Amino acid sequence: MNDRLLRAARRQPTDTTPVWLMRQAGRYLPEYRAIRGNIAFLDLCKHPDLAAEVTVQPITRLGVDAAIIFSDILIPVEAMGIELELGDKGPHFPNPVRSAADIERLGVPDPVQGTGFVAEAIRRTRRALNDSVPVIGFCGAPFTLAAYMVEGGGSKSYILIKRLLFEQPQLVHTLFEKLTRTLIPYLLMQVEAGASIVQIFDSWGGELSPWDYERFCLPYLTRMVKEVQAKGVPVILFGTGMSNHLPLLKRTGADVIGQDWRTPLDEARRVLGPDVAVQGNLDPLHLFLPREELEARVVDILRRAGPVGHICNLGHGILPPTDPEAAKFFVDAVHKHGFALRQSP
Ligand SMILES: Cc1c2[nH]c(c1CCC(=O)O)Cc1[nH]c(c(CCC(=O)O)c1C)Cc1[nH]c(c(CCC(=O)O)c1C)Cc1[nH]c(c(C)c1CCC(=O)O)C2
């Protein structure tokens, strides 16, 4: 198996820098759009054969060093018994979670009964890949998931979830506790099915001050990280807008801390110290730069990160209008300059 990504996560030497792209299976790929043209997004997630097929698409086309299972962070939330719609405008919960009774009604699903199709997609993906690259499992973090559940969908201001947090903190702790008791077995099911590493997406965690993040999020994240690591599997923790939260993220014990493009990786390293790996962090919009400028950004990222303990990636998900050739150029440039960096560090 190409184990560059797993070695980098454990800060072991590699021949070059491993790379994958958040949202690497998605609408920028014509072969994804061809399948998605005939099936709704949630149905695609729940159809293990097709989910495995789209998971493998970017491996074949881009030559990335890992597959991330095709699914969504909201899949286990739906299994808690709340109606979820995923339309053109993003996720929508027609009956958002706003009261004690709403939280009381949520279940803690058995992972196989509620979301067994994810495990099946992982098994089929591993077979299709013939174990050529590792499979990344994932879930959302309690705050990011709760933000969708309480707001009823995406948000710009996060007023409802933050008001609930500050006006009725005990309610939010009850919700986070239920989410954590759902997410830990969900991640362990993915590990059991063949995920070799997992990523926790706290995409909107940067909306909270470090003070609130420490009190409301850290205890749950730390539990999730510990339980996965107890199975011998490394954990990547990713968030955006969290330059000032890095000391907290480090305290979760995660093996890898994912960075968006706002934090230069040498600065992240200065704060995080030598015993944590970093992931990132090209601005997804940089894939629209002329090729030689894109290449210069890659060289800069690799130099700042150094040769050990770096998984290269975008700073957030790849955007639908991106040219797949630009994504391929990015992956090739990381591999080429990653080799060169190790010849003359
Ligand atoms: C916040 C979040 C969500 N989902 C996810 C996050 C965290 C990552 C991040 O911060 O971006 C995680 C996610 N969503 C998807 C994956 C698949 C794996 C991958 O290739 O990275 C992963 C890891 C597929 C998807 N999830 C979604 C799509 C688009 C669905 C389609 O085909 O129409 C895909 C490929 C839908 C989705 N799902 C979500 C949103 C906001 C949207 C709509 C945005 C959009 O339309 O691009 C919630």
Give tens-digit pLDDT for 215-261. 999 999 999 999 999 999 999 999 999 999 999 999 999 999 999 99
Could you tell me the two tokens for 219?
Answer: 């205890």
How many whole angstroms from its chain centre is CA 173? 23
| Nearest ligand 1 atom, CA 144 | 1
Number of Cβ atoms within 10 Å of the Cβ of 85: 15
Q: Is the pLDDT of residue 128 over 90?
A: yes
Does ligand 1 lie within 6 Å of residue 122's CB atom? no
Is 148 marked active-site? yes
Look up the domain containing 316 and give its range: 4-343
Structure-block tokens of residue 165: 């947090």
Overall number of domains in the chain: 1
87: pLDDT strictly greater than 90: no
What's the rounded mean pLDDT across residues 267-288?
98
Q: Tell me the average pLDDT across 264-272.
A: 98
- Distance (Å, whole) CA 67 – CA 138: 11
- Please tell me the distance between residue 130's alpha carbon and the centre of ligand 1 in angstroms: 26
Q: Is 88 a catalytic residue?
A: no
DSSP state of 134: P
Q: pLDDT category, 344, cuts 50, 70, 90?
A: confident
Q: How confident is the model at residue 280 (pLDDT cuts 50, 70, 90)?
A: very high
The response to whether residue 91 sits with its C-beta less than 6 Å from ligand 1 reads yes
Amino acid 267 reads E
ipTM of the complex: 0.92
Q: What is the pLDDT of residues 177-228, one digit of tens each?
A: 999 999 999 999 999 999 999 999 999 999 999 999 999 999 999 999 999 9
Whether 291 is catalytic: no
Q: Is 72 a catalytic residue?
A: yes
Residue 32's contacts (CB-CB under 8 Å, 6 or more residues apart) are 25, 26, 54, 57
The model's pLDDT over 41-80, given as tens digits with 9 standing for 90+, comes to: 999 999 999 999 999 999 999 999 999 999 999 999 999 9
Label residue 139 by pLDDT band (50, 70, 90): very high
| Residue 96 CB-density burial (10 A; 0-12 exposed, 13-18 middle, 19+ buried) | middle
Q: Is 25 annotated as a binding residue?
A: yes
Nearest CA to ligand 1 atom 40: 90
Testing ligand 1's pocket by substitution, the residue of 21, 55, 60, 73 carrying the most ligand atoms inside 8 A of its CB is 73
Ligand 1 contact, 117 CB (< 6 A): no
> Is the CB of 56 within 6 Å of ligand 1?
no
How does DSSP assign 275-330, residue by residue? TSEEEEEE-GGGGGS-HHHHHHHHHHHHHHH-SSSEEEEESSPPPTT--HHHHHHH
Q: What is the mean pLDDT of the chain?
A: 97
Task: Answer yes or no: is pLDDT of 89 > 90.
Answer: no
Reference 66, options 138, 5, 128; nearest CA is 5
Q: What percent of the chain has pLDDT over 90?
A: 98
What mean pLDDT comes out for the span 84-97? Answer: 94
Exposure on the CB side of residue 140, measured as CA atoms within 13 A:
21
Ligand 1 centroid – CA 23 distance (Å):
7
How many CB atoms within 10 Å of residue 90? Answer: 10
262: pLDDT strictly greater than 70: yes
pTM for the model:
0.97
How far, in Å, from the CA of 72 to the mean position of ligand 1?
A: 6
3-state helix/strand/coil string of 149-184: HHHCECCCCCHHHHHHHHHCHHHHHHHHHHHHHHHH
- What CATH number does the domain containing 213 carry? 3.20.20.210
Report CA torsion sign: 166, 168, 172, 174.
positive
